[in-house]
Amino acid sequence: MSRKPRFYQQVNFFHIMVQGINRSYIFEDSKDKEYYIKFFKEKADEYELDILTFCVMDNHVHFVIHTESIDELSAFMHKINSKYATYYNKKYDRVGYVFRDRYKSQEIISESQLYKCINYVYNNPVKAKMTLTPKDYKFLDYKEEFYMDYKKDDEYFIDVDDENESDKSIIYNYINTNNLKIYDKVEDLKKLIIYLRRRNMSFRRIEKVIGINRNKLSKLLI
Domain that holds residue 195: 163-222
57 within a domain of the structure (yes/no): yes
147 and 169 share one domain: no
- With contact defined as beta carbons under 8 Å apart, do 195 and 179 qualify? no
Instruction: Give the predicted TM-score (pTM) of the model.
Output: 0.67
Q: What is the pLDDT of residue 161?
A: 58
157 within a domain of the structure (yes/no): no
167 and 146 share one domain: no
68 within a domain of the structure (yes/no): yes
22 and 98 share one domain: yes
Measure the CA–CA gap between 104 and 166, rounded to whole angstroms. Answer: 8
Q: Which of these three, 116, 151, 186, is where a domain ends?
A: 151
Per residue of the chain (222 residues), what is the pLDDT tens digit? 444 554 444 458 999 999 888 778 889 889 999 999 999 999 999 999 999 999 999 889 999 999 988 889 999 999 999 999 999 999 989 888 898 877 888 888 888 889 889 999 998 898 888 888 899 999 999 988 887 765 555 566 766 655 445 566 677 777 877 888 888 888 888 888 888 887 767 787 788 777 788 788 888 886
108 and 168 share one domain: no
19 and 70 share one domain: yes
Measure the CA–CA gap between 57 and 173, rounded to whole angstroms. Answer: 26
Q: Which of these three, 122, 151, 180, is where a domain ends?
A: 151
158 within a domain of the structure (yes/no): no
Q: Which of these three, 121, 151, 181, is where a domain ends?
A: 151
107 and 130 share one domain: yes
Q: What is the pLDDT of residue 9?
A: 42
- With contact defined as beta carbons under 8 Å apart, do 65 and 54 qualify? no
50 and 109 share one domain: yes
Q: What is the pLDDT of residue 44?
A: 94
44 and 70 share one domain: yes
21 and 79 share one domain: yes
Cβ neighbours of residue 82 closer than 8 Å, sequence gap 6 or more: none
135 within a domain of the structure (yes/no): yes
207 within a domain of the structure (yes/no): yes
Read off the CATH number of the domain in which 10 is found.
3.30.70.1290
Q: What is the pLDDT of residue 152?
A: 56
Closest CA to 169 of 187, 142, 196: 196
Closest CA to 28 of 97, 82, 87, 100: 87
116 and 175 share one domain: no
19 and 85 share one domain: yes
191 within a domain of the structure (yes/no): yes
- With contact defined as beta carbons under 8 Å apart, do 147 and 117 qualify? no
Measure the CA–CA gap between 63 and 53, rounded to whole angstroms. Answer: 6
Structural domains in the chain (count): 2
| Per-position DSSP letters for 194-208, written without gaps between them | HHHHHTT--HHHHHH
49 and 114 share one domain: yes
